[in-house]
């Protein structure tokens, strides 16, 4: 742990900014029921009330508290994105590393299957599948995980192929080491840096993808609070807002809150990814 802490201490300001924001959002997601002043679904006030106590960020079209829904939204959107990314990595990296190490027909079949999946624009493909299967949280996670695993597959396969040409892998093969040992002990430690960086990026894409689907109405279904869906619900308000006084202007700012939250998290994750990449490329000095 000590070398890790030392690296953390030497991290640049941008990385620290990312770490702080991501930690705050993670804490918000975990302690949502404690932090939120009002319940997620209940109508607690009049429609479209301005930013004033007790509804510090106003209420939405049904009179639900926007602040509370933003806090619960962190839990739903971020949690599901994290789960989906993890699943995408499990599928993509396993197949990618296996395909690179085994080669032959396995590589051929897996790579062609991935090519087919990648040939179809992913948003349209996801819309198609979700229309057929219906929009449950489970099907949402599975569909996005499978679609995103194709990208992870390509990366991990390419990285592993580079590593497999090294003499130390040849030494392990000559020793008669098994497939699993070669992947776990020789390939994985050397491919971890690009894979971790990809995890950060992929998380952002998945997160945006869920938000996009929610915006189109095929993501998380109401009344579940979700940042993407919140942008969609309040998007129209911008054109109706009256920006002459502060009280009426807050009404038009409503869609910018979830949109800003999405942007902030995405940028923060990317700042951390940049730092991890920098560390991995050995450019610390």
Partner 1 sequence: MTDTSDLLLDIRDLVIEGRSGGTWQPIVKGIDLTLKRGEILGLIGESGAGKSTLGLAAMGYAKSGCRIAGGSIKLAGEELVGAPAETLRHLRGKRVAYVAQSAAAAFNPAYRLIRQYSEAPVKHGVMSRQEAERDAVQLYREMQLPNPEEIGFRYPHQVSGGQLQRAMTAMAMACRPDLIIFDEPTTALDVTTQIEVLAAIRKVVREHKTAAIYITHDLAVVAQMADRIKVLLKGDEIEEAETRQMLAHPREDYTKSLWAVREFRRAPRAPDDTGKPILTLQDVDASYGTLQVLDGINLSVNRGQTMAVVGESGSGKSTLARVIMGLLPPDKGSVRLDGKTLSPLNRHRDKGVQRRVQMIHQMADTALNPKHRIREVLGRPLEFFLGMKGAAKEARIRELLTMIELDPDTFIDRLPSELSGGQKQRVCIARALAAEPDFIICDEVTSALDQIVAEGILRLLDRLQREMGLTYLFITHDLATVRSIADWVVVMQKGQIVEQGAKDQVFQPPHHPYTELLLSSVPEMDTEWLDRVLNDRRAAG
**Residues at the site binding partner 1, with contacts judged by CB under 8 A:** 166-168, 170-171, 173-177, 185-186, 189-190, 285
Q: Which residues pair with 59 in a beta bridge?
A: 65
Residue 65, classed as helix, strand or coil, is strand
Least distance to partner 1, CB of residue 5, Å: 17
Which residue is listed with tokens 């499978």?
A: 146
- Integer CA distances (angstroms), 155 to 126, 152, 256, in order: 21, 5, 34
Residue 81, classed as helix, strand or coil, is helix
Least distance to partner 1, CB of residue 19, Å: 22
Least distance to partner 1, CB of residue 191, Å: 10
Looking at the Cβ atoms of 190 and 270, the one nearer to partner 1 is 190
State the Cα–Cα distance between residues 129 and 246, nearest whole angstrom. 44
Looking at the Cβ atoms of 173 and 236, the one nearer to partner 1 is 173
Looking at the Cβ atoms of 128 and 179, the one nearer to partner 1 is 179
Residue 241: in which H helix or E strand, if any?
A: none
Looking at the Cβ atoms of 121 and 178, the one nearer to partner 1 is 178
User: How much of the chain is in helix, strand and coil states, percent to nearest 5?
Assistant: 75, 0, 25
**Concatenated DSSP letters of 159-211:** HHHHHHTSHHHHHHHHHT--HHHIIIIIIHHHHHHHHHHHHHHHHHHHHHHHH
Looking at the Cβ atoms of 177 and 274, the one nearer to partner 1 is 177
Looking at the Cβ atoms of 129 and 188, the one nearer to partner 1 is 188
Least distance to partner 1, CB of residue 132, Å: 45
Least distance to partner 1, CB of residue 68, Å: 46
Long-range CB contacts (< 8 A, 24+ apart) of 1-10? 7/279, 7/284, 10/284
Least distance to partner 1, CB of residue 33, Å: 42
Which residue is listed with tokens 């450019």?
A: 283
Looking at the Cβ atoms of 37 and 189, the one nearer to partner 1 is 189
Least distance to partner 1, CB of residue 62, Å: 55
Token duo for residue 134: 């219906």
């Amino acid at each position: 742990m000590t070398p890790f802490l030392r690296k953390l201490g030497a991290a640049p300001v941008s990385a620290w900014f990312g770490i702080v924001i991501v930690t705050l959002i993670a804490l918000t997601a975990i302690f949502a029921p404690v932090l939120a002043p009002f319940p997620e679904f209940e109508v607690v006030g009049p429609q479209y009330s301005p930013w004033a106590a007790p509804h510090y960020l106003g209420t939405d079209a049904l009179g639900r508290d926007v602040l509370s829904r933003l806090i619960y939204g962190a839990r739903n959107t971020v949690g599901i994105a994290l789960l989906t990314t993890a699943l995408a990595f499990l599928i993509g990296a396993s197949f990618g590393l296996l395909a690179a190490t085994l080669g032959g027909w396995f590589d051929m079949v897996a790579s062609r299957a991935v090519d087919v999946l990648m040939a179809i624009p992913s948003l349209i493909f996801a819309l198609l599948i979700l229309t057929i299967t219906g929009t449950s949280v489970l099907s949402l996670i599975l569909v996005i995980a499978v679609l995103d695993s194709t990208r992870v597959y390509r990366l991990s396969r390419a990285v592993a192929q580079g590593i497999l040409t090294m003499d130390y892998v040849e030494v392990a093969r000559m020793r008669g080491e098994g497939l699993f040992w070669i992947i776990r002990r020789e390939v994985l430690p050397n491919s971890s840096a690009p894979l971790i960086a990809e995890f950060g990026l992929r998380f952002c894409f998945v997160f945006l993808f869920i938000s996009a689907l929610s915006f189109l109405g095929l993501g998380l279904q109401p009344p579940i609070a979700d940042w993407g869906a919140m942008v969609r619900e309040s998007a129209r308000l911008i054109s109706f807002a009256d920006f002459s006084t502060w009280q009426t202007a807050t009404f038009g700012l409503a869609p910018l809150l979830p949109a800003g939250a999405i942007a902030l998290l995405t940028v923060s994750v990317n700042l951390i990814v940049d730092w991890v990449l920098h560390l991995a490329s050995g450019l610390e000095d």
